[in-house]
Amino acid sequence: METTRISVGQKRANVLGFSKAPRLAFRLEITVASVLQKDSPYNIPLEIRAVPEYMDTSECIVNTLKVIDIDGFTLNLRSTSSIMAFPAGTVGGATLVHENHFVRKTVLGVYMKPRRAEQPNNQQFHCEAQAKGCLMGAYPPPSSPLTLPISDNTTPLDLGQKLNLKLQHEQLQAHEAPTFVTYNIKQTYVLEWKMSLEVGGEILRVKGKHPVLIMEKAEQDSES
């Protein structure tokens, strides 16, 4: 059944290595943007789908509907400013002597599964997010939990669209430049995500990262 949870005894037996509890295997396919522009009106694309692995799944549950609940999700933009030092007086190619890295993190979006017993109102949710330094992707957050079916034919879940994730200029610090590389300085960015998934009563922690090219915001046409 979709709502079936394994028992405490089955969990204990699973740890000891002789569990008879059904086994569910799947892989996550995540597609994320490689290029982003400041102040773009479009959402940051981040698609996820769960594909079943039939060979490693117990036969008794192969044909049942299985759904993953997304308990939590965080998307960060990590910037790295690098300063490279070369021997004095060198011209052309030279051996790198020293390199300093300055790393900063910007929270682009946070999602927490709504709890029936304690659902904060929108204003409280907004204030708590600001107090923690988080820029929430959606105001208000989705009222219904985000779910992900485990299926071969399912459409990917676009978290960027569901959570209204955007790269706003005011989110970044004033000195944050777009991606660039010179002979001794470079600025690079990486998108990092963390997810907490619940399936069959078990919690899975998933995280990943992907390099991204950040472009400066488009210039506004000025009236002559």
pLDDT, one tens digit per residue, over 78-117 is 999 988 776 665 555 556 566 788 899 999 999 998 865 5
Q: Which two tokens stand for residue 184?
A: 């001794």
> What does the alpha-carbon distance between residue 91 and residue 86 come to, in Å, rounded to a whole number?
10
Domain layout of the chain by residue ranges: 20-76+105-214
What are the φ/ψ torsions at residue 128 (nearest 5 degrees)? Answer: -65, -40
What's the rounded mean pLDDT across residues 12-39?
Answer: 79
Give the model's pLDDT for residue 139.
43
Query: Mean of the per-residue pLDDT values for the chain?
Result: 78
The model carries a pTM of 0.73
Token reading at 52: 């079943």
